Structure 1
Amino acid sequence: MKKIAALPDAVPTPAPVICSPSWALLGIEPLRAAMEYASCRLMDRSGHASGDGHPVIVFPGLAADAQSIAPLVGFCHGLGYAARDWGRGINTGPVGDIDAWLDALALDIEALVAEHAQPVSLVGWSLGGIYAREVAKRIAMPVRQVITIGTPITGEATQTNVSLLYRWVNGTLPVLDDDFKSRLIAAPQVPTTSIYSRSDGVVAWQACVQPEDHAMVENVEVDGSHCGLVWNPAVLKVVADRLSHAPEAWRPYGATAGMPAAAALT
């Protein structure tokens, strides 16, 4: 009887390679960011729910400082939140052991909001979003929610166009071990929103999409540059909506804002 050859084991489909955005997108970042800033200054700021006074900490992106995120901080403050920047000046990236550095940052944030009885919301732009996610896992006081804006939650430098800038401000290239990257991808156990743009010229949008590993994790797509996301009117609208919802009343953004959910991730 003729033997039938065993079928070969199925070859697993390799994970898609996520590359950094094109140089063309990067090249027009300054112009697009300037246009977004102008739109921010002209936007109608009425119609957003009034804040309840809870503290909001905003973390800047790499090489950015309090002035860079002032439009976002001012917007949140104007809504009625106790909003402020992270208090460490220019973000030059972590120094030394990253876990020890983040532990120290969490203690600093605790001190900044110690006078408030309400849970804190943590908002981070780009690299600052990594801080927001990790501080939420470390901080001793209750966290209301985390919002990241153009943040590469995969922790892969190859998925961004900022390696040279990182070396310039930090003196080294960003290197994260596999254990830290696996922990980083896991969202904090609080409502967590990742805002991203497919036309981001600095960070690959796919690197900003977080796995929906619990019921209060979402990805919200906007149209904008990377450098202008912190004053992009569409981003401000999402932030205002998210901050207005207490954890017990939290629902995905599309379900509460009367707009379609984010486009399918294809």
Structure 2
Amino acid sequence: MYDFESETGPTPGSYDARTPHGPPSALLTALELPRWIGEYASSRVLDTVSPTSNLGEGRSVLVLPGFSANDFATGRLRAHLRQRGFRAHGWRLGRNVGLTDRLVDGLMDRFVEVADSSDEAVSIIGWSFGGLLARRIAHAYPDRVRQIICLGSPWRADGERTRATAMFERSRIRHGLSDQARDIVDELRQPVPVPTTAIWSRSDGVTSWAGCTVDETTTPVIAENIEVVSSHVGMVASPLVLAVVVNRLRQDPEAWQRFEWRHLLAPAAPDTKIASA
């Protein structure tokens, strides 16, 4: 994210010496592209041979791209959700260049548009920086958000510096930064008022995995961590991650079941594919 912490100093008590918080190794970063190619290809193949189903029962899901990404980059994830009966929506705001006034305001407008088109609360999936934006929507509209799922999202102050931090700083110079940016970041770091799932990988080549984990809770709302083996870019394409995402999206917020890997073994019955929006 933006290097706010270098401007003001670290938040007292925010660091834990037992866990790493710096950017991933250069080797993991270099492996991101080849790993993503394999994850994307395997997911496409599996979806090609898998039957459609109505697991999602037509529920709406808003998918937010990571920094410097757009709806095209999350297309694999949304296609997978549509094949399983969810109404998967892109954010339609072009490339995610950070907390500019246009994106800050446009994100809320887009969420309201999706929520107004749905008969029930909307789930939000945020990839990387998109997960931080999902947290912000949940704070703003807790009654209209069913749950959020964050994929490799470094929301903690002690995970601020990532392999993408320099890109954030260049974007700040080129595209500007909303006057609300620091207040927004402070807000999204507070406990989220809706069920929250953090999916993260120790082999993430862009963000520090320790900065992506949440403090697990059961009350007043659920917050849980699920560790996967995945690249950072591949979190929107990896068959393993996509299976976990579908499993969590099917949870009833009023009767939540904590994740167990054996749950992924339950077969899905074929059904009619539901159209996307």
Please show how residues 220-235 of structure 1 align to structure 2 within 5 Å. Answer: 220-235=226-241
RMSD between superposed Cα atoms in Å: 2.9
Aligned residues: 244
Q: Is the 8 A contact 1:161 1:203 kept in 2?
A: yes
| TM-score, with length taken from structure 1 | 0.81
Q: Which moved more, 1:54-63 or 1:164-173?
A: 164-173
Aligned match for 2:251, one of 245, 248, 253: 245
What secondary structure does 2:110 align onto? helix
What secondary structure does 1:121 align onto? strand
Question: In 2, Cα distance between the equivalents of 1:158 and 1:248?
Answer: 33
Q: Which amino acid aligns with 2:69?
A: A
Aligned match for 1:217, one of 217, 223, 230: 223
Question: In 2, Cα distance between the equivalents of 1:28 and 1:230?
Answer: 16
| Structure 2: gaps spanning 5 or more residues | 1-12, 266-277
CA shift digits 1:108-129 (9 cap, x unpaired): 3102331211110000000000
User: Does residue 63 of structure 1 match 2:68?
Assistant: yes
| TM-score, with length taken from structure 2 | 0.78
CA shift digits 1:114-161 (9 cap, x unpaired): 121111000000000001111111127521110010100115574311
| Structure 1: gaps spanning 5 or more residues | 1-11, 260-266
The residue number in structure 1 matching 2:89 is 84
Question: In 2, Cα distance between the equivalents of 1:43 and 1:26?
Answer: 26
Q: Which amino acid aligns with 2:110?
A: D
Question: In 2, Cα distance between the equivalents of 1:47 and 1:249?
Answer: 26
Question: In 1, Cα distance between the equivalents of 2:215 and 2:32?
Answer: 27
Question: In 2, Cα distance between the equivalents of 1:14 and 1:250?
Answer: 31
Q: Is the 8 A contact 2:52 2:83 kept in 1?
A: no
What secondary structure does 2:198 align onto? strand
The residue number in structure 1 matching 2:31 is 28
Question: In 1, Cα distance between the equivalents of 2:238 and 2:91?
Answer: 20
In structure 2, relative to structure 1, the CA distance for the partners of 1:143 and 1:13 (3 Å cut) is closer
What secondary structure does 2:70 align onto? coil
Aligned match for 2:203, one of 199, 215, 225: 199
Q: Which moved more, 1:230-239 or 1:244-253?
A: 244-253
Question: In 2, Cα distance between the equivalents of 1:217 and 1:180?
Answer: 21
Q: Is the 8 A contact 2:159 2:210 kept in 1?
A: no
What secondary structure does 2:98 align onto? coil
Residue 187 of structure 1: CA displacement?
3.4
What secondary structure does 1:220 align onto? strand
Residue 180 of structure 1: CA displacement?
5.1
What secondary structure does 2:227 align onto? strand
Q: Percent identity?
A: 32
Q: Is the 8 A contact 1:63 1:91 kept in 2?
A: yes
Question: In 1, Cα distance between the equivalents of 2:234 and 2:68?
Answer: 14
- Greater gyration radius: 1
Of structures 1 and 2, the one scoring higher in RCO (CA 8 A, sep 6+) is: 2
In structure 2, relative to structure 1, the CA distance for the partners of 1:120 and 1:158 (3 Å cut) is closer
